[in-house]
Structure 1
Amino acid sequence: MSSAQSGLESTRNMSVTRSNIWYEDGSIILQARGTQFRVYWGVLAQQSSFFRDMQSLPQPPDQPSVDGCPVIELHDDVADVEYLLKALFVSTFIAQAALPLPAIGALVRLGRKYDFRNLLDSAVARLAFENPTTIEKLDALVINGKPFPHVPTRIVRHKALFLDIITLARENDIPFVLPCAYYRVLWHYTPLFDGVPRGDGTRAFLAPVDLRRCILARDELLKARFHKGYSYGWLKEWEYDSDCAHPARCIEARNALLHCYIDFSRLWILEKYGQDQNLLCPACYDHAAESTLAGRKKLWEDLPKFFDLPPWSELKNDY
């Protein structure tokens, strides 16, 4: 039996449901697991080399059809196909400021599979916007002077969003999203072993490879923040004492801050220094702020290695 005959038999034997995406004057019917979508072949061909090449091929005489429209069977998730077609045929859908992550995942998967390059690019751009590769872009996301906690604006937020972003990025080979996404998970969630509730009755879990990276990186980052040259290395090795107006008070304040950060287990490593200026004299405060700024830049540059990933320069944007 030919593949076309096989497709015809499966179409005949399957209970078929008509989707809400159904244009009466459409010229092609896409069928995914018993759900049919009637759309325009010309639009598909314009946006996708896969459908453009298919359109140029002669249709076999036993090609399944409905009302004269060829039926093309897709072996994809129904929800993914619906999101893809909404992005193509419903102008207000793709124009939304924030899209749900399942829609972005659908555009990544099917955009790559069927070469809808524009849709793939737009989906990856949303992931990259929320999980930047430079500290300048990270700082551009700051709300009320703080980069963390992060409130996404181009992806609809749910309670376990950053875990799901990691899974999507890793499964679809978009590695440059991972360092920032891993760090967001460490900042937002603890513990991770039992997963994180999404808020809809389901829980998100990290795959073992991701869980291992996060757990090992958290311990290393907690120690590294006090290493020389990193965000709070100046608390352990103070290399500035000229112009200090109150040496005894500043030493006491630095010791208090060091113990405060050690006792507080949250990853305060990428925040700008913003402690009460009354804790240190003006000269020491300026030195602390400058050292923290330089340290956070260095830590950001080194962030991928903490998660056992190549450096930023090798995490190519070549999805």
Structure 2
Amino acid sequence: MLNGRALVRLHDSAAEAASFLRAVFDSSFFEPPPYPVKFGDIIGVLRLAHKYDVQYLFRRALAHLDVLYPTDLGKKVYHAGTHVRFPSLDVTSDMISLKAACEVGATWMLPAMYYEIAPVRSFLDHAADYLQTSQIQTCLAPQSKLVRAHASSYRFLRSLPRCGSAACYAAVQEAHDELEGWSERSLDMDPLGDSVFDDMDSELCPTCSRFATMRFSVAQQAFWETLPAVFMLPNWDELKEMRRKAMEEAT
């Protein structure tokens, strides 16, 4: 008791406890997605709802993170384009998410989380603050595979132009030059990225564009199917079954 009032000591951070308690007592504070929410509130509610077994809030927090780290390539989005408000759009948020997902057993999100971290050169600057040594190693080990997969995703360029036009030839050559001129290592480890193709597609004729779009999509989907294995995780079928069980009452 303190001054005649009951006092409970929580061994949790003040910020996470505040997010969790607000979610418990204010039904409008932590609505299901796509309701706007702060990233820190998601993590706080996720961790403490799991710790104190508040299942409806736990599943709701999972639903918010599920938007950021999907199990299907077609649902992959840039963090800046979601309903989640981040303090800053850098790899720190992904490392915080990875740590929290491991704590609560959200294994199905790990392939997408690891993929967001591994290609980023600067992640090592602060990795020790958030990740265990084994998690850092999991990020570093497949980097050569990511480089090879990135090169493979652009193999369709070898088969262009299909029409033989000078304009399409020039667009393809420009794309080759841009790929060779990349100095950022992270760009060479992003087989799911689309910066070069987006720029080139508008310069291609309809025939070449359709061909390139199809081949590029096929290559990216093929890589996505191998993504769990790249990070030594169960296959997508197993991961999706984990997700189904955890998310069936997400709202």
**TM-score calculated relative to the size of structure 1:** 0.61
State which of 87, 90, 93 in structure 2 corresponds to 1:157: 87
Measured in 2, the distance between the counterparts of 1:167 and 1:184 equals: 13
Q: Which has the higher helix share?
A: 2
Match of 2:191 in 1: 269
1:99 equivalent in alignment to 2:23: no
1:112 deviates by 2.5
1:87-110 CA distance string (max 9 Å, x none):
111233224611342x33332233
Contact 1:270 1:296 in 2 (8 A): yes
1:98-136 CA distance string (max 9 Å, x none):
1342x3333223323332110111111111111111122
Secondary structure, counterpart of 2:198 in structure 1: coil
Match of 1:220 in 2: 145
Distance 1:248-1:89 versus aligned 2 partners, 3 A rule: closer
Contact 1:214 1:307 in 2 (8 A): yes
Structure 1 segments unaligned to the other structure (5+ residues): 1-10, 23-28, 34-75, 142-146, 197-202
Measured in 2, the distance between the counterparts of 1:174 and 1:152 equals: 20
State which of 91, 98, 120 in structure 1 corresponds to 2:58: 120
State which of 305, 311, 314 in structure 1 corresponds to 2:229: 305
Measured in 1, the distance between the counterparts of 2:224 and 2:24 equals: 37
Which residue type is aligned with residue 115 of structure 1?
D
1:4-153 pair list within 5 angstroms: 16=2, 29=6, 31-33=8-10, 76-77=11-12, 79=14, 80-95=16-31, 97-101=36-40, 103-138=41-76, 141=77, 147=78, 150-153=80-83
Which residue type is aligned with residue 31 of structure 1?
V
1:313 deviates by 1.3
1:194 equivalent in alignment to 2:125: yes
1:311 deviates by 1.4
Distance 1:152-1:32 versus aligned 2 partners, 3 A rule: farther
Measured in 1, the distance between the counterparts of 2:50 and 2:60 equals: 12
State which of 174, 185, 192 in structure 1 corresponds to 2:117: 185
**TM-score calculated relative to the size of structure 2:** 0.75
State which of 102, 119, 131 in structure 2 corresponds to 1:170: 102
CA RMSD of aligned residues (A): 3.2
Contact 1:226 1:234 in 2 (8 A): no
Task: Answer 1 or 2: higher relative contact order, Cα 8 Å, separation at least 6.
Answer: 2
1:2-40 CA distance string (max 9 Å, x none):
xxxxxxxxx6xxxx599xxx9xxxxxx56125xxxxxxx
Distance 1:125-1:246 versus aligned 2 partners, 3 A rule: same
Match of 2:154 in 1: 232
Contact 2:167 2:203 in 1 (8 A): no
Structure 2 segments unaligned to the other structure (5+ residues): 247-251
Distance 1:244-1:182 versus aligned 2 partners, 3 A rule: same
Distance 1:104-1:249 versus aligned 2 partners, 3 A rule: closer
Match of 1:244 in 2: 163
Distance 1:30-1:111 versus aligned 2 partners, 3 A rule: farther
1:174 deviates by 0.9
Aligned residues: 231
Q: Which has the higher strand share?
A: 1
Measured in 2, the distance between the counterparts of 1:248 and 1:124 equals: 48
Measured in 1, the distance between the counterparts of 2:141 and 2:80 equals: 22
Contact 1:192 1:211 in 2 (8 A): no
